[in-house]
Amino acid sequence: MTSDLRRIQSLPTWLVGRVAARGRAMVADAIAAEGLKLMHHAVLAATAEYGPATQADLGRRLGVDPKDMVGFLDHLQKEGLVLRAPHPSDRRKNAVTVTPEGTAALTRCGALAEAANAELLAPLTPDEQRQLLALLSRLHEAPETPA
């Protein structure tokens, strides 16, 4: 007879969650070498992609509370990775841009994250890795079904 716990631990949602948690921890540990946390990395990447952007716009894009965004940007600016300056069209707002040091850090963090993901997927063959990514992408892109 299968135990309730064993049944729960065999559910796809349980397994995906556990693997995701392990992967996040691996990436977090890897980019910690740069003095950054996962959200710092995401804010830096969003700034590089969408900047110059207002703090509020970055927060909306990442789903981050404005008070938390200020803290993330304070850290990134202190490290010399972003610059905040008055927004050209509305001087009451700050425009955030990535510095050359920020671009270099983003490149290093990207490589560290890739290496951590390669380590996570190492038990799989290259074909299995491609298949897993394709299946996860399909699940991610599938429309939500009404309850």
pLDDT of residue 1: 56
| pTM of the model as a whole | 0.84
Residue 68 located in a structural domain: yes
pLDDT of residue 30: 97
List phi, psi (to 5°) of 97: -130, 155
pLDDT of residue 91: 77
pLDDT of residue 51: 82
Among the listed residues 50, 38, 34, the one whose alpha carbon sits nearest the alpha carbon of residue 98: 50
Cα(16)–Cα(66) distance, integer angstroms: 30
Residue 132 located in a structural domain: no
pLDDT of residue 40: 97
Residue 72 located in a structural domain: yes
Residue 64 located in a structural domain: yes
State the CATH number of the domain containing residue 75: 1.10.10.10
**pLDDT, block means (10 residues), the chain with 147 residues:** 85 95 97 95 96 91 93 96 87 90 97 97 97 95 84
Residue 145 located in a structural domain: no
Among the listed residues 38, 88, 31, the one whose alpha carbon sits nearest the alpha carbon of residue 68: 38
Residue 128 located in a structural domain: no
Extended strands (E) in the chain: 53-54, 82-86, 94-98
Count structural domains, the chain.
1
Domain that holds residue 48: 36-111
Residue 66 located in a structural domain: yes
Cα(85)–Cα(3) distance, integer angstroms: 59
Write the CA distances from 3 to 17, 19, 114, integer angstroms.
20, 22, 37
